[in-house]
Structure 1
Amino acid sequence: MKFQLGGSVTHRTSDALGDIVVMDYRKHRVLTFDTIFEQSKIDRNKPYLPVHEYNRAMLLPIAFAEPRHATVLGLGGGTMVNALHHLLPACEIHAVELRQAVVDVAHAYFGLPHHPNIAVTVADARPVLHDMPEASTDLIMADLYSADRMSPAQGHRRFIDLCALALSDHGWLALNFHLAPSREGTMMQHIHRLFADVMLYRTKTNNYVLYASKRALHGDMPGATRLATLEQRLPIGWPQLIGKVWAA
């Protein structure tokens, strides 16, 4: 997400791919690679609570089915892993991050826990996906971004193929896009061939989250009681979020 970032620099490091900067502004902490785009943002007092709307929206598949195993592609500051672990402490979480320095910063500055149920692999996401056994995970959340753009891999049909193979028969895929694939385009048609139901969410900053379910929903949406229970466990505005989802 693009902003002119204010606040003070708390930590700065770099690796072969560029700078990694941690900035504090009032109650928030931000991970950025260029001091323009926010890669991750947390409330320092509640690091498990996602601040960005698109991060909150990416959690919506949990309203339909709670995963026993989740895969997070693109760790960043660990926002999604923190939220998942807080909401579902028994869930096994496998995060994949290209940069070891980003993993180190997530642990040191963003409250990413060291826990037996959380495994982090430092690697390119594509070969990791390729090597995952079929039907081995219930939720894949893909947020693969460099300093200023989405990884091209995330927009390729082969990437979607690998996700579909790795997901269980009741699994969900959540993808963060700057621009949603065209409804009539080859990418969206390919997703519809592999998944029973496909939905979209548009944020106020015009990010899109695409959801794809292996199991047909038949129009069933989570009820008020279910959403209220989730809101007690992780207060991110579940009823409001689910109200902005539409069929793609």
Structure 2
Amino acid sequence: MLRVLIWLVLIMPFIAQSKVIHKERSLYRNILVEKNADLLCLKFNEKTRKSTQSCMYQSDPKKLVFNYTKMTFASLLFIDNPKNVLIIGLGGGTLSNTIHELYPNAHIENVEIDPAVIKVARDYFDFVETDSVTSKVQDGRIFIKRAALKKQKYDWIILDAFNGDYIPEHLLTKEFFAEVKSVLTNNGVVAANTFSSSKLYQHESATYFDVFGDFVNVVTDKDSNRIILAGFHAMPTEQQIAERVKRLTPKLAPYDVDMQLLSEHLFYTKGNQDWPKDTKVLTDQYSPANLLNYQ
């Protein structure tokens, strides 16, 4: 409780100073861009609350704002030099921009259902598009279905789609994860941005395990986000992780990503499953994600 009060005291001056510099109603949601001193944020204004989707320091665009974004780069402890990257859910384009800077020769496909979000990312958040960095307006599941039919494969698949309340239900099922697995290369990894709180945690874990087998949770004590890393064939050895931390640390430092810290927060589920064995797997017929999220 004391930590919450201290946090409120610290952020209240900034909340008061926030200024809406762009507002629009898209097909899916109310979209806001708020400026607060040096911080620029994309927010979805829902009926009951605002949810922050992406933020950028205008004076230092490289420096990542959110902890979950930083945790996503724990993926690089499992893959080397990704050539083909798929990102479901664009936000302000932060992940795409960072990956493009780290791996300028990689082909990055961003899939976003809301065309208004792509436009805002371009206009306010310096979202970079090139011949090798593309954006497509489409539902993520439809995109992956079509990618599977075309035999496309990705080394790194990042699932970061949110509707303002939680992950869309059809992107949280056994059937969807099987489709994701079908477009993952043999040495690839799936990184999913989700949460470590609510009853949904157990169902998500059981569903990922059902499709991918044992996976890794990346959780730090800074917030309730977790990144699920799945699809890899074997857990890297301590020596492999240490070598990758050493190699990646100078590359990620400008983005305020502490690779050593991330390496210390990899929780492998093999022999450490923290959900009941009889937990119901989420399917296309049973996926009450938004209801479970509030339990």
Structure 2-normalised TM-score?
0.76
For structure 1, the 5+ residue unaligned runs are none
Alignment of 1:118-157 (within 5 A): 118-133=133-148, 134=151, 136-157=153-174
Structure 1 residue aligned with 2:87: 72
Aligned to 2:188: 171
Q: Does the 8 A contact of 2:43 with 2:51 survive in 1?
A: yes
User: Does the aligned pair in 2 maintain the 1:29–1:43 contact within 8 Å?
Assistant: yes
CA RMSD, 1 decimal? 2.5
Same amino acid, percent of matched pairs: 23
Partner amino acid for 2:268? Answer: A
76-85 or 147-156, which deviates more? 147-156
Query: How much has 1:197 moved relative to structure 2?
Result: 4.5
Q: How many aligned residue pairs are there? A: 246
Go from structure 1 to structure 2 and tell me whether the alpha carbon gap of 1:188 and 1:26 turns closer, same or farther (over 3 Å shift).
same
Q: Which amino acid aligns with 1:128?
A: F
Cα displacement (A) at 1:221: 6.0
Q: Where do 5+ consecutive residues of structure 2 fail to align?
A: 1-10, 270-295
Match among 96, 111, 136 for residue 81 of structure 1: 96
Contact 1:49/1:83 (8 A) holds in 2: no
Q: Do the aligned partners of residues 247 and 183 (structure 1) sit closer, same or farther apart at CA in structure 2, a change above 3 Å counting?
A: farther
Are the counterparts in 1 of residues 77 and 244 from structure 2 also a CA contact under 8 Å? yes
C-alpha distance in structure 2 between counterparts of 1:157 and 1:221, whole Å: 33
Measure the CA separation in 1 of the matches of 2:24 and 2:200.
41
Q: Name the aligned partner's letter for residue 21 of structure 1.
A: L
**2:36 alignment partner in structure 1:** 25
- 1:205 corresponds in structure 2 to 223
Question: More helix by proportion, 1 or 2?
Answer: 2
Q: Distance in 2 between matches of 1:189 and 1:102?
A: 32
Instruction: Deviation per CA, 1:17-65: give whole Å up to 9, x if none.
Output: 2211111112221100117321011221333432111111112112321
Q: Say whether 1:91 aligns with 2:102.
A: no
Which residue does 1:237 correspond to in 2?
258
Query: Match for 1:56: what amino acid?
Result: K
State whether residues 198 and 213 of structure 1, in contact with CA within 8 Å, keep that contact through their aligned partners in structure 2: yes
CA distance in 2, matches of 1:193, 1:175: 15
Q: Bigger shift: 224-233 or 206-215? A: 224-233
- Report the 3-state secondary structure (helix = DSSP H, G, I; strand = E; otherwise coil) of the residue aligned with 1:113: coil
C-alpha contact (below 8 Å) 1:73/1:141 kept by paired residues: yes
Highest CA radius of gyration, 1 or 2? 2
- Whole-angstrom distance in 2 between the partners of 1:48 and 1:222: 27
Are residue 161 (structure 1) and residue 175 (structure 2) matched?
Answer: no
Name the structure where strand makes up a greater proportion of residues. 1
Contact 2:78 2:189 in 1 (8 A): no
Distance 1:16 1:185, change over 3 A: closer
The 2-side partners of 1:227 and 1:18 are apart by 40
Between stretches 227-236 and 154-163, larger displacement belongs to 227-236
Counterpart CA distance in 2 for 1:182 and 1:215 is: 28
Give SS of 2:70's match.
helix
How many Å separate the matches in 1 of 2:138 and 2:105?
Answer: 25
Q: Contact (CA 8 Å) 2:174, 2:211: kept in 1 or not?
A: no
**SS in structure 2 at match of 1:132:** helix
In 2, Cα distance between equivalents of 1:54 and 1:82: 16
Output the CA distance in 1 between the equivalents of 2:208 and 2:107. 26
Which residue number in structure 2 is paired with residue 44 of structure 1? 58
